[in-house]
Amino acid sequence: MPASSVLRLSDDRLRYLPASSTDPVTVSSDNPGALAVAAESRKWLGRGTVPGTNARERQVSERSLLDLRLLTPEGAATLAGPDQRWAYVWPRDASFAAAAFAATEHHEESYQVLDFLAKVQKTNGTWAARYHPDGSPVADGRAPQLDSAGWFSWAAWYAFTTDPEHERADIQMRTLWPGVRAAADAMVDSLGPGGLPPGGSDYWETPTLGPNLGTAAPVRAGLRSAADMATKLEREDDARRYSEAAAHLDAAIQRQFASRGYPRSTRFGSGADAAVNFLAPPFAPRDAKVEKAVEEAASRLAAPNGGMLPGEGWRQDPSVSWTPETAFFALSASASGRRKEARRYLMWLADHRTSLGSFPEKIDGDGEPQAAAPIAWTSAIVVLALAAEQKPLPIPPAYKFDGKPNPSPAPPAPLGGVLLGVAFLVVANQPRWYPVPVSVRP
């Protein structure tokens, strides 16, 4: 049904997800519960914005937002996907959902996601790899992933920065600050003598022996975000500590990654990685060297079907593209004002949706959607990319040691692009992209 997550079947019956339920039901075409859910969805969309410069783009934003809402249970953070093997909260994915909600003025949902993440945060400022919707960590042996600390801090900063209700933003900033401060302290403490966080698991969820870009880049964005929050809260000591750590980390990234074209890790031969987009807008100001590295990575990571691989060292089927990684190239291009490039990625994503229009997690060599749909991470990234068309997304400032932000380049001009609409659907029971044993998948 238009502007809702209620499906009208070929026999005119309706299928929908009742409130506080995890199982959809199929009912008659005049069922009051289904019709009420559809009507409420339209009201919810009307309370925020639907990014897009034309009807088709707004349609995809609308579907992506409704998918994110569908995946966000009351009182919890956004789940990665609807299938039982994806129905967990990854702090990384949920942080992006919070940013997408904030970018479209759905601040209540944004703060709900962030509050959940703050409540499940470990006492040392980090997070488990993933959580059940009730807030308990998933005990599958995965080590904590430090990039979550960076993404949470960035998302919290993004939420209050974009909130037009200043009184609410101030309350939420002060409420979330203890979690941001604990995360920032953990990030500062993680930096080694050379200035980089240690090796470990990043968004690939496979460990690297040396420091990796998928952790270092979001930690830099998180520290800059925490420093700006501390400055606004007049916590000068914290602001100085986090800005100095961010500058120390930035210098290390320049030494260890920039000089080699921003590879996946400091290990020789690790190859290009989609994480290079984490160094570009909206996570950092435009940088000519980074843009060149993004362009080079795009050429190296292009799969035969037109989408993107996570990295040159990716050991799974090289004919399979991944929609989150493809969407990241779209986001950095959109936020940087590179219209033609962003449109190419967004059009490819639009052309490779499921039969109902959802973004799947991956696309096989034949161009068919695989894994789960909707996938929250892709939906959130696409919403942010479309939001960047209409006005520049805020970028965490890089502070000098005197507490003043370095001047950033002028915001890029808005981007135009074309997309098609999406809807929710589980398309296949395949493991999430992380290459882990079947017993603990996805």
DSSP letters of 361-376? SEE-TTS-EES-SS-H
pLDDT at 301: 98
Tokens standing for 438? Answer: 């079947």
231 near 399, Cβ under 8 Å?
A: yes
275 near 217, Cβ under 8 Å?
A: yes
pLDDT at 431: 31
Sequential pLDDT tens for the chain (442 residues): 999 999 999 999 999 999 877 789 999 999 999 999 999 999 999 999 999 988 888 999 999 999 999 999 999 999 999 988 899 999 999 999 999 999 999 999 999 999 999 999 999 999 999 999 999 999 998 889 999 999 999 999 999 999 999 999 999 999 999 999 999 999 999 999 999 999 999 999 989 989 999 999 999 999 999 999 999 999 999 999 999 999 999 999 999 999 999 999 999 999 999 999 999 999 999 999 999 999 999 999 999 999 999 999 898 999 999 999 999 999 999 999 998 999 999 989 989 988 888 899 999 999 999 999 999 999 999 999 999 998 999 999 997 755 566 654 444 443 333 333 333 333 332 333 322 222 222 4
pLDDT at 406: 64
Angstrom distance (rounded) from CA 379 to CA 67: 7
pLDDT at 413: 40
194: number of Cβ within 10 Å: 13
Q: Peptide bond before 374: cis, by omega within 30 degrees of 0?
A: yes
Phi, psi of 3 (to 5 degrees): 55, 40
134 near 143, Cβ under 8 Å?
A: no
pLDDT at 410: 42
Cβ partners under 8 Å of residue 80, min gap 6: 71, 86, 87, 88, 89, 90, 93, 130, 372, 375, 376, 377, 432
Angstrom distance (rounded) from CA 84 to CA 72: 14
Adjacent-strand bridge partners of 14: 8, 27
Tokens standing for 64? Answer: 């992506």
Angstrom distance (rounded) from CA 412 to CA 24: 43
